[in-house]
Every structure is written in structure tokens, then in C-alpha cells.
A and B are shown apart, each in its own frame.
Chain A
Amino acid sequence: MFKKILVANRGEIALRVLWACKELGVPTVAVYSEADQGSLHVRFADQAVCIGPARSIESYLNIPAIISAAEITGADAIHPGYGFLAESSYLAEICEACNIKFIGPGPQAIRLMGDKSRAKKAMQKAGVPVVPGSPGVVEDEEKAIRVARDIGFPVILKASAGGGGRGMRVVRNAGELPPALRAAQAEAAASFGVADVYIEKYVVGPRHIEIQVMADSKGNVVHLGERECSIQRRHQKIIEEAPSPVLTDKLRRRMGRTAVEAAAAVQYVNAGTIEFLLDADGNYYFMEMNTRIQVEHGVSELVSGRDLVKEQIHVAAGQPLSFAQKDIVMSGHALECRINAEDPYTFVPSPGVIRHFYAPGGPGVRIDTFAHEGCEISPYYDSLVMKLMTHGRDRTEAIARMRRCLDVMVIEGIKTNIPVHRRILDDPDFVAGRFDTRFMDRFAPEKKAVPSAS
């Protein structure tokens, strides 16, 4: 086991990693920017090192400062959390060179899965169903139109090096394609530095179903079931749940097997998530793989009873997985509402100081947060304040518990999206499990008319 783990992150995920380390008896080092001096992860870690000023690029994205902090504290492992440097193959490589264990997959797997079109090719080779699309990057308009006709309209143009909705355009016919291609290429170059764009079939109204996998360095790969993440606004997840209300046992077994094959095909080690699009006919297609622990990992922990972060640490320390596929037994239903510091009507971020704070407990409630009374939510980082999770014997109970928590939760001094969650939890389509990734478009339509995928 490691002598000391440095947590290269902040906020709720830094605390989450600290909890796992404390339970394993491993001393911890927190790193922090000047803006996070009073933050809980700094207070609860055994040691803390200030690594820079508030701006992320000078602190939480500052690899030399983080490696230096590991060196002066004698940390022999770094957990990158999610976001920031979690999918930086560069950090993974530097850790290797400095004899520090990066708690995650190796740099090659990170690089491969980070390049969306290379990832897709690797998956195709492994026999994983992928969304029909161009064999690679498409540069000229004539080729683009030919490829699009083969696939069948509507198609979507996507940036090879990116995500999060940028460099994306939905195209409904050949006439729309040339200007859309030029626009997508320009946006891709501006956002990710690389103008490469590829074409895919646009699956109308898909559900976003992702499978959690965990692999050790001995070649064992296990899946821990799916998460339904279709409630998204502008490609940002708002509500996640496990299991999905629509997956049959048969489909779950098939998708789980596919996810395990996908991870094994790239010799994946540690925690990862394979994202699929599920269409209305029950066909699923590989979308991308996230080579890190994710925000929503908690709902999988609730239904499986497993601690994924502890498992990440065990695997990184060279131990085999503590469970086999047959040991994974799912129980009940879990929901997560991401509570963000934002205006519930305009979604504009709302930084500030939390003046009053009350978070409820009771049966089936799990709250992952760094918030407390007097806590400052600064404008420099993302707006996630709290992950509110509930677990119940079934989906009805999980929903009832979530409503109850949202009703009594007190977070004053900043605005939050609690009212939005409360309305979603009353929506008949949500309650019936009858929704796809277009749900938020209907529920909270954008003020401006957007001609393509937002």
C-alpha cells in the first residue's frame, strides 16, 4: 500500500478521495490554490501544500507545482479525481518518470480514449458496436457529402479532439453540410487547437447509458452495471440514476459484456466508464470511454455496495480486484441530483458565501459535498456544490426520498438549481421513466432558437 497519497483536486471529489484514504489508513496530502485556503479538503488532509494562485491553470492544472508538492511531502501516489488533470496523459507520464503512482489507467489508454476518432476505431476493431460514421477525419466537402449519404441523414459533425458540445453540428441534408463542416472545423480549431472533424449518424432522441468498469493489473475486468444519464442540459449531466428504468436484464448483461470486452481490448487498468447511446429500438452504440472516476460514481456505489475509490487505490497499489463479476449484486435504485451554484431560471453561475446550510440525513441519503456555513463558492472553478444522492428499495422510494431531501435542504447565500430538480422530480415523464437526452430541451427550453445540437 502507498506511504502517502496526494489528492490533485479540490471540492467534493478531493474529500471523497480523502475519505477512502482515511479508511485505508493512508496519510494524505491536499494541494490547494490561494482561493481554497479554508476549504475542507485542506483542513482534513494530513498535510496541505499551496500550489498557486486562484486560476486553475496556475494551480490545479499546474503539473510542476503538483509534482513538486508530492516530492517535498514524500507522496508516492497521486489521485487526480475528475476534471482538471484526471485525463492528462502528460501527468500520468510524468508521474511514471518521477516514480509516483498515478491512480488511474496508463498514459497510452488515456491518450487512445482521449482521441475520439482513434477510440472509435479501436472499439470497432474489438467488435464493439459503434455509431455508423466516417472511417476517420473528413476534410473536404465532396467526401463529406458522400460519407453522409452512405450513413444516412441526419448526421452529426464532431470534433476529434473535443467534447462538451463544441465543434458539433447536426446536419439534416446535403445542402446544409458544406457550411456546417466549415463552422465545425473552425470551432474545433478554436476550442481544441485541432480542426479535425469526423461524421457520425445522428441518433435521434437517444438515451445516454454508461457502464462502470473496473480492471486490475492482472487482466481482471468487471462491470458494475449501468447508469442512466439522459437528463442533461447542454451535454452537462444534471440527474443520474442506477439502474436505468428501461434496461432489461438481458440488455444489461449484453451491454455489460460489451463494456468489459471494450476495456479488455485496450488493456485498461483501474476505473473507467464506457458511454453508449441507446436508441428507441434497443440498439446501443459506443460513444466514448472516460478514463477516470466520474462525478456520478456514487450511484453505482449505492446499488452495488462497493467502494470504487478504495478499489482504485487497491488496484493502483498492485492488488487484484477484491471482487469477481459474480460477486456484484445490485440492490434497489439510486438517484443523484447535482446541486449547482446557479440561477434556477437562467442557469447563470451564482458564486458567493453560503450563509445558512442544512443538509438532511435519514434512511437512504448520501450527500457528497464540501459546502458548509461560511463556505465560499468562488467563481474560479465549476459550480458543483453538492451531489445529493438517494437510495431506495425501488425507483419510487428513491424518488420520494429525493423529493423529501430537496424540500428540506437549506443552502442560502447563493442561488442553486434545487427548484429545477424539484420540478423535474414531479414531471410525469421523468417519474414514468419516459425520457431521453432531449428531456431538458422540452423541460427548460433554451431562450434562443438553436439551429443545431447545442
Chain B
Amino acid sequence: MNLKELKEILQILEDQEITEFELEQEGTKLRVRRGESKAAISRPLAAGANAQAPHEVTEEAAPDVPIEPPPVESGLTIVKSPIVGTFYRSPDPNSAPFVNIGDAVKIGQVLCIIEAMKLMNEIEAEVAGEIVKVHHESGQPVQFGEPLFTVRPSS
């Protein structure tokens, strides 16, 4: 299930004013409940579009596939999380993200922060290139090995 499909499902649920919905397919389970603000692992959607009623969205990860396996074009590199924690795109809530799609990055450049046990860990690029995809929003939990960025290496 990718973000586009998820958005489509949520739009349908909103249009039909459905309060509770569960879908299980091929190792992914999606459960949506409207009205309660308690979140398990919550994935905040892109701001604006579906901001009407608070949705509680819990997507349980397929155990034998990392969350959201991106199709990898040949030659592209995936930057994976080396630790477990919470992903942040910028150094603090008021700053711009470290990197955006299209940015060129050098080896050693800080791409993001992963917070673990109250410590902010800066994740650095190990490959120079261009950011092609950003896999998570700020505040999302990430596990070991989770894809964070897709990079087109420059060399």
C-alpha cells in the first residue's frame, strides 16, 4: 500500500462518513477509526487535504517487508535508518528541512535527525548525489533498516 492508495481510501471513508474501517491484504493491515485522538504509530497526512475530522490511522507493518518498500530504479541508493527512533526532517520545528527533493548532497552532509532516547542523532549522507525521494514525514517512527531517502549517486 503506498501513500497515494492510502489517501484515496481515506478520501472515500471521509466522503462516505465511515467511522471505522479495517483492511487486510498481503501482509499489510490498515485500521482507521474516526473521532479518537489517541494514536499508536500515527502517520500524519499531508497538511490541508484531509484535515476535516481527526483520523486515527494505524498501519501495522508487514513483518517480512520493511515499511513501504520503494521500487528501486537501477543505480539508485536507499539511505536506511541505522537506529530505531523518531525521524525529523529539520533541526527544529521552526527551521527548514535539512534536504528536499532535488537537492544535491555531499558525503558527510546531514540529511535528517533521528531522535532516540532523548538524544538527537544526525544521520549523514554516505554517498554524494541528488535526493530523489523522501520516505517519511517529521515525527514518524522508524525502525532499523527503514528506508529514509532515495539518492541518485553523482558518480
Contact = CB atoms under 8 A, between A and B. Distances in A.
Interface of A: 32, 34, 37-38, 42-43, 46-53, 59, 64-65, 67-69, 71-74, 98
Contacts of A51: 84, 143-144
15 contacts: A32-B63, A34-B144, A47-B40, A47-B41, A47-B61, A49-B141, A50-B145, A65-B144, A68-B84, A68-B85, A69-B143, A71-B85, A72-B41, A72-B84, A72-B142
Contacts of A65: 83-84, 116, 144
A43 B60 CA distance: 11
A64 B63 contact: no
A73 B144 CA distance: 14
Q: Which of B83, B116, B117, B145 has the most CB of A within 10 A?
A: B117
Contacts of B44: none
Tell me if B's interface is mostly helix, strand, loop or mixed: loop
A53 B145 CA distance: 8
Contact of B66 (A47, A50, A59): A50
B86 interface: yes
B60 A46 contact: yes
A68 B60 contact: no
Interface in B121-155: 141-146
A73 B40 contact: yes
A69 B63 contact: no
B144 A52 contact: yes
Given A34-B144, A42-B63, 7 more contacts: A48-B61, A49-B144, A68-B83, A72-B84, A72-B141, A73-B41, A74-B40
Contact of A67 (B86, B117, B141): B117
Nearest to A30: B63
B64 interface: yes
Contacts of A98: 117
B64 A73 contact: no
Given A42-B63, A98-B117, A73 B141 contact: yes
A59 B84 CA distance: 11
A6 B86 CA distance: 17
Nearest to A33: B144
A21 to B, nearest CB: 16
B146 to A, nearest CB: 8
A342 B119 CA distance: 43
B41 A68 contact: no
Contact of B60 (A34, A47, A64, A74): A47
In order of increasing CB-CB distance, the 4 nearest A-B pairs are A72-B141, A68-B84, A68-B116, A50-B143
Contacts of B63: 32, 37-38, 42-43, 48
Given A51-B84, A72-B86, A64 B40 contact: no
B116 A64 contact: yes
Contacts of B141: 49, 72-73
A50 B145 CA distance: 7
Nearest to B142: A72
A346 to B, nearest CB: 33
